[in-house]
Each structure stands twice: as C-alpha cells, then as structure tokens.
C-alpha cells in the first residue's frame, strides 16, 4: 500500500469521488440551537459580542423556533433571563418563571422541536454564581443541589423534553434524577454538562445571559483546563448517577476530550461550540480575514469527527442553510 502502487490522490480528483469515501458527515438534526428568552413583548435585543444572536421575548422566541424547525434542526436549548434575581435564584424554579413560560409556549407552538432547558442558577442569582453562596463567599455544593433539583423538576412540570444541568456541582445528576423519578418524570432525560471547563471562551455568553459572577470566578467548581483524565472521571460519575448524555464544553480546545468520552464511556456525547468560539469566527469574517462558511463548516466537521453525536452551536441556522444549499447543487464533476 505504498507509492506508486497506492495513490491516495486518485480518490480526491472529483467531488463525487471524495464523497464516496467521506468518513464524517454533518446534518441539521445533529445541531442544537441555543435561545435566550426574556420578559416583554416584541423584544429582540441584539447581543453585541455575538452577531446574529438575540435576547427574545416569547412571541419572538416562537418565530425563531419555527424558523429553526423549518431548517431541519430538531432541538433548541433554552436560557432564561428573569426580571427578578436574588441570592438563591428563586426565579429559576418559579412555576411562572420566564424559562417555564417559554417551555410551555414552545411545546404548544412548535411541538416537533425537542426543547432542552439549561439547569443552573447563575442567570437567576444576584451574585451570578451557579449555586448558593455562603457567608464566607464560597459556593455551598450540597445546599445548591436541592435548588437545582427543584429547578429541573419545575422545567419537567412545564413540559420540557430534556433537562441539561450546567452548574458543575458534585452530585447534581443524582439529585436531579431522584427528584424527577419521585415526581413521575422518570422519562425525562438528563443531558449533563459533565466535562465543563473553567474557560476563557465564555465571555460573550455572559453578556447574552446576563450571568457574569459579581465577585471571584468559577474555578472552584468548573474544571481545570489542564486536566483530561479528570474530565473522563466526571463523565463516568454523571453516568453512574443517571445521565443519559454527557457533554464537553467548550468544544474546539477540547476535541481530545470529546474523543475520549466517546470511546471510553460508550455513551452519547454532546459538544458545546461556545460563544467565544462563535464570536471569534464572526469577528474575523466581518474583517474579511476568513471565509466564514468554510471555517464554520470545517469547525463543525472537526467536532463531529472527534466523536460528538450532538453539537450545540450558535452557527446552527447558518450551517443548516449551507447544508441545504450543498444538497441542491448539481454535481460539479472535476473541480479544484
């Protein structure tokens, strides 16, 4: 199998030949589109650091969801922006909270979409941390579990299809699974942000979700970027506690973790192509430094190739359109 007997370029000469041996494929149904929902009517607030992303009132959220579904994307991930914040994030588990109202509206208006709800307290707490903060300024892991479980349960009662805990408290998957099962929601899956790093790529998201910590950082509960084995252990623990899918966040700096989780857990793996990754591509494309479509599709392909079964990405709508356009193109025969 060496030159000149084997010439790999033979199978690269045309688009048709290349497609015959293509190992990795993208399809809109593997994308999940994140959505930010806020109170009000006809609200569409642009997120300055994320071109094309908006904070939406429920009526506009529905229109956005309909467009998403029309593109062949099958799932959305909901983040709520409450009117009221307090030390314990009570709006997160309010039955009439913004996320709960959005879930009910989406399931009624666009029932074919799978609605995933992010379970965390950071958007709802006045201090911006993902759990309850003690008087000494530390996040109380065990006290936070009860509130996270209440939040997940309130989403299930609103009709959500999937809950996705992103807080990184120890034991939260077990606490949520137990709460859901005891209340008759044993069929609601848990997509765990199992391997979530304390990353510098989250900045634009914190503007979109209005959830920047008011003091300190999240390094005591999100993972050290230097650690790989620990990331696999976190996923294994969450699976043992009842997770139905595990996740790596961010995606691009941690492709090795996506690969490891897929092969070592043998469980479905999601990857979150996060706000900072999105913003960098958008900024470079606006300046004409890169071909946006080519870079986005290569990026998503690399995440898929690493082993992701599901890709959460702000590029989902654009990528779905580009995939549709490619399918509509006539065969180009020999090309360069």
Positions marked active-site: 196, 249
Q: Which pair of tokens denotes residue 14?
A: 């045309």
Q: Residue 244: which of 297, 189, 202 has the closest Cα?
A: 189
Q: 252, 303 in Cβ contact below 8 A?
A: yes
Q: Residue 58's closest CA among 24, 109, 2, 127? A: 109
Question: Would the CA dihedral through 62, 68, 71, 74 be positive or negative?
Answer: negative
Helix (H) or strand (E) holding 18: helix 15-20
Q: Minimal CA–CA distance to 237: which of 173, 169, 309? A: 173
CA distance 279 to 129: 23
Residue 319 burial class via C-beta count within 10 angstroms: exposed 0-12, middle 13-18, buried 19 and up: buried
- E strand or H helix at 119: strand 114-119
Measured distance CA(198)–CA(222) in Å, rounded:
5
């Amino acid at each position: 199998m060496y030159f000149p007997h084997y010439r790999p370029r033979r199978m690269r000469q045309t688009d048709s030949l290349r497609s015959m041996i293509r190992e990795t494929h993208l399809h809109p149904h593997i994308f999940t589109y994140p959505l930010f929902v806020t109170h009000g009517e006809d609200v569409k607030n642009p997120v300055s650091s994320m071109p094309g992303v908006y904070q939406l009132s429920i009526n506009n959220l529905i229109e956005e969801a309909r467009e998403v579904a029309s593109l062949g994307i099958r799932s959305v991930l909901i983040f709520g922006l409450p009117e009221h914040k307090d030390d314990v994030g009570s709006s997160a588990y309010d039955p009439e909270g913004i996320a709960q109202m959005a879930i009910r509206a989406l399931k009624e208006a666009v029932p074919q979409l799978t609605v995933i709800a992010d379970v965390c307290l950071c958007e709802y707490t006045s201090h911006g941390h993902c759990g309850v903060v003690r008087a000494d300024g530390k996040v109380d892991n065990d006290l936070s579990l009860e509130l996270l479980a209440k939040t997940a349960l309130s989403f299930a009662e609103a009709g959500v299809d999937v809950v996705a805990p992103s807080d990184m408290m120890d034991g939260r998957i077990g606490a949520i699974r137990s709460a859901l099962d005891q209340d008759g929601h044993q069929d609601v899956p848990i997509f765990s942000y199992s391997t979530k790093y304390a990353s510098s790529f989250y900045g634009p998201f914190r503007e979109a979700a209005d959830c920047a910590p008011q003091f300190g950082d999240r390094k005591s509960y999100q993972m050290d970027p230097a650690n790989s084995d620990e990331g696999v252990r976190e996923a294994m623990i969450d699976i043992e506690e009842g997770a139905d899918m595990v996740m790596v966040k961010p995606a691009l700096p941690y492709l090795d973790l996506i690969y490891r989780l897929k092969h070592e857990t043998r469980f479905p793996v999601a990857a979150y192509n996060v706000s900072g990754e999105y913003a960098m591509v958008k900024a470079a494309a606006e300046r004409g430094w890169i071909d946006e479509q080519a870079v986005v599709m290569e990026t998503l392909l690399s995440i898929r190739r690493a082993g992701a079964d599901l890709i959460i990405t702000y590029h989902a709508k654009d990528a779905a359109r580009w995939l549709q356009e490619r399918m509509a193109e006539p065969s180009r025969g020999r090309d360069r």
